[in-house]
Amino acid sequence: MKRIVLVTGANSGIGLALCERLLTTDSEIHLCLACRNTQRAMAARSALLHSHPEADISLLKVDVGDMNSVLEAAKEIKKRYSRLDYIYLNAGIMPNPQLNLKVFVKGLFSRKVVRMFATGEGLLTQEDHVNANGLQKVFATNVFGHFILIKELEPLLCCPSMTSQLIWTSSSNAHKSAFSLDDYQHSQGIESYSSSKYASDLLSLALNRQFNRRGLYSSVTCPGLVMTNLTYGILPSFFWTLIMPIMFLIRFFTNSFTLTPYNGAEALVWLYKQNPESLDPRAKYHSCTSGLGNNYVNPKKMDLREDTAEAFYKQLLELEHKLRQKVGVAEEAIK
Ligand SMILES: NC(=O)c1ccc[n+]([C@@H]2O[C@H](COP(=O)([O-])OP(=O)(O)OC[C@H]3O[C@@H](n4cnc5c(N)ncnc54)[C@H](OP(=O)(O)O)[C@@H]3O)[C@@H](O)[C@H]2O)c1
Nearest CA to ligand 1 atom 1: 226
Say how many domains are in the chain.
1
Q: How confident is the model at residue 1 (pLDDT cuts 50, 70, 90)?
A: confident
pLDDT at 331 over 70: no
Q: Ligand 1: does its nearest atom lie under 6 Å from the Cβ of 133?
A: no
Residue 9 in contact with ligand 1 by CB distance below 6 A: yes
- Do 162 and 261 form a contact (C-beta atoms < 8 A)? no
Nearest residue CA, atom 23 of ligand 1?
Answer: 9
Asked if pLDDT for residue 213 goes beyond 70, the answer is yes
Average pLDDT rounded to a whole number, residues 284-309: 97
Name the amino acid, one letter, at 280. D
Distance, CA of 215 to CA of 211 (rounded, Å): 7
Cβ atoms 66, 91 nearer than 8 A: no
* pLDDT for residue 162: 93
Phi and psi, residue 124, nearest 5°: -120, 135
Protein residue whose Cα sits closest to atom 44 of ligand 1 = 92
pLDDT confidence bin for 99, thresholds 50/70/90: confident
State residue 168's pLDDT score.
98
Proportion of the chain in helix, strand, coil states, percent, rounded to 5:
50, 15, 35
pLDDT for 235 equals: 85
Report how far residue 74's alpha carbon sits from residue 94's, in angstroms, rounded to the nearest whole number.
25
Q: Is the CB of 37 under 6 A from ligand 1?
A: yes
- Give percent above pLDDT 90 in the chain: 79
Q: What is the pLDDT of residue 96?
A: 86
Q: What is the pLDDT of residues 119-139, one digit of tens each?
A: 777 788 888 999 999 999 999
Is the pLDDT assigned to residue 222 strictly greater than 80? yes
Instruction: Assign 253 a pLDDT band (cuts: 50, 70, 90).
Output: confident
Q: What is the whole-number distance in angstroms between the Cα of residue 290 and the centre of ligand 1? A: 24
Name the strand (E) or helix (H) holding 237: helix 237-250
Vertex 258: Cα angle to 301 and 48 (nearest 5)? 110
Over range 62-77, report the average pLDDT. Answer: 97
* 92 Cα nearest atom in ligand 1: 45
Q: Please give the positions annotated as active site.
A: 193
- Counting atoms of ligand 1 from 1, which one is nearest the CA of 15? 16
CB of 158 closer than 8 Å to CB of 215: yes
Task: Name the amino acid, one letter, at 21.
Answer: R
Residues 310-335 have a mean pLDDT of 84
pTM comes to 0.95
* Residue 105 pLDDT grade (very low, low, confident, very high; cuts 50, 70, 90): confident
> pLDDT value at position 324?
86
Average pLDDT of the segment spanning 24-51: 97
Q: Is the pLDDT of residue 278 over 70?
A: yes
Q: Which of 229, 254, 289 to mutate to test the pocket of ligand 1 (most atoms within 8 A of CB)?
A: 229
CA–centroid distance, residue 10 to ligand 1 (Å)? 8
What's the CA-to-centroid distance between 230 and ligand 1, angstroms? 6
In this predicted structure, which of 55-59, 111-115, 221-225, 270-274 has the lowest mean pLDDT? 111-115
Q: What value does the mean pLDDT of the chain take?
A: 93
- Residue 106 banded pLDDT, cuts 50, 70, 90: confident
Q: Which domain holds residue 63?
A: 3-334
- Strand boundaries in the chain, DSSP class E: 3-8, 29-35, 56-61, 86-89, 98-99, 124-125, 164-169, 216-222, 283-289, 295-301
292: pLDDT strictly greater than 90: yes
For residue 19, the CA-to-ligand 1 centroid distance in Å is 14
CATH code: domain of residue 78: 3.40.50.720
**147 vs 196: CA distance, rounded Å:** 12
